[in-house]
């Protein structure tokens, strides 16, 4: 809509070119990789040096897979939010997919500009949805319970996939397993499909993912257990 061009860059922000906006995604979708505090600090330093606005996608921040704790970009900003925005989604945090409920926080000057754009573009959040957001954001118990469910499902499905030769890369947080057997993503997708298990080809997220698949942990506990059983008991037959 803005007529902008996009450019992929490596994780190391010290090599990034100046831009109007840099988008950071940690924990990552699809890989589940978590940026270290040093990597995020390099992003902040880049913004300070170039004046680039940073949008930090933190929609999966509430779902660590283990001991690695995802870090918000504000934790390394030394109290200075200038040119920094963080984006959060309640579709992930509170299972409110379909509500289109989300929020952005950060630099007050940028927020003011976003509010003006929102008014004129007609992107108003209905009042009942705003009420639901208020209740959801006032409670952390349901978030912790959901995080525990994802960790348990990850353990069950990861063990089953590894028993069939898959390697799980990253997946330090989030709702997915990023898996590979060194074959093309379509070969892996086809192999899983014979057991009624659906996965997303990694190249949907760019050619660098063409030998990986993304498997969601959003099915029910029973469905995850069934998928794991099909893999461990049937795959070798």
pLDDT single digits (tens) 47-88: 999 999 999 999 999 999 988 899 999 999 999 999 999 999
**Sequence ranges of the domains in the chain:** 13-137, 141-234
Q: Cα(225)–Cα(212) distance, rounded to whole angstroms?
A: 22
- pLDDT tens sequence across 91-102: 999 999 999 899
Q: Cα(61)–Cα(105) distance, rounded to whole angstroms?
A: 14
Please give the pLDDT value at position 237: 52
Judge whether 13-137 and 141-234 match in fold. no
Please give the pLDDT value at position 1: 78
**CATH architecture, domain defined by 13-137:** 3-Layer(aba) Sandwich (3.40)
99: left (phi over 0), alpha (psi -120 to 50) or beta: alpha
Please give the pLDDT value at position 82: 97
- pLDDT tens sequence across 96-146: 999 989 999 999 999 999 999 888 887 888 999 999 999 999 999 999 999
Please give the pLDDT value at position 110: 97
How confident is residue 233, by pLDDT bands cut at 50, 70 and 90? Answer: confident
Residue among 71, 92, 73, 69 nearest 83 (CA): 73
Lowest mean pLDDT among 51-55, 178-182, 190-194, 233-237: 233-237
Say which residues have a Cβ less than 8 Å from residue 54's Cβ, sequence separation at least 6: 21, 22, 24, 43, 44, 46, 47, 73, 83, 84, 85
88: left (phi over 0), alpha (psi -120 to 50) or beta: beta
What whole-number percentage of the chain has pLDDT above 70? 98
Residue 178: burial class (beta carbons within 10 Å; 0-12, 13-18, 19+): buried
**pLDDT at 184 > cutoff 90:** yes
- Identify the helix (H) or strand (E) that includes residue 136: helix 127-137
**pLDDT at 236 > cutoff 70:** no
Please give the pLDDT value at position 72: 97
> Could you tell me where the DSSP H helices lie in 8-107?
37-50, 90-93
- What CATH number belongs to 141-234? 3.90.1150.10
Rounded to two decimals, the pTM is 0.90
């Amino acid at each position: 809509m803005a007529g902008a061009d996009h450019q992929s860059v490596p994780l190391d922000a010290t090599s990034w070119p100046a831009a109007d906006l840099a988008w950071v995604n940690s924990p990552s979708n699809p890989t589940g990789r978590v940026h270290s505090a040093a990597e995020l600090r390099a992003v902040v330093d880049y913004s300070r040096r170039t004046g680039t606005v940073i949008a930090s996608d933190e929609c999966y921040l509430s779902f660590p897979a283990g001991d690695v704790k995802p870090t918000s970009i504000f934790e390394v900003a030394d109290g200075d939010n200038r040119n920094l925005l963080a984006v959060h989604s309640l579709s992930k945090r509170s299972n409110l997919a379909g509500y289109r409920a989300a929020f952005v926080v950060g630099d007050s000057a940028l927020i003011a500009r976003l509010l003006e754009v929102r008014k004129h573009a007609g992107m108003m959040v209905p009042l009942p949805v705003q009420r639901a957001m208020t209740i959801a954001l006032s409670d952390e118990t349901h978030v912790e319970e959901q995080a525990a469910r994802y960790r348990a499902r990850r353990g069950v499905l990861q063990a089953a996939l590894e028993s069939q030769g898959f390697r799980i890369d990253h997946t330090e947080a989030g709702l997915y397993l990023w898996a590979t057997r060194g074959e093309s993503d379509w070969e892996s997708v086809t192999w899983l499909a014979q057991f009624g298990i659906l996965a997303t080809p990694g190249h949907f997220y760019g050619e660098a993912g063409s030998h990986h698949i993304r498997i969601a942990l959003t099915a029910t506990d029973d469905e995850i257990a069934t998928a794991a059983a099909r893999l461990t008991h049937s795959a070798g037959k």
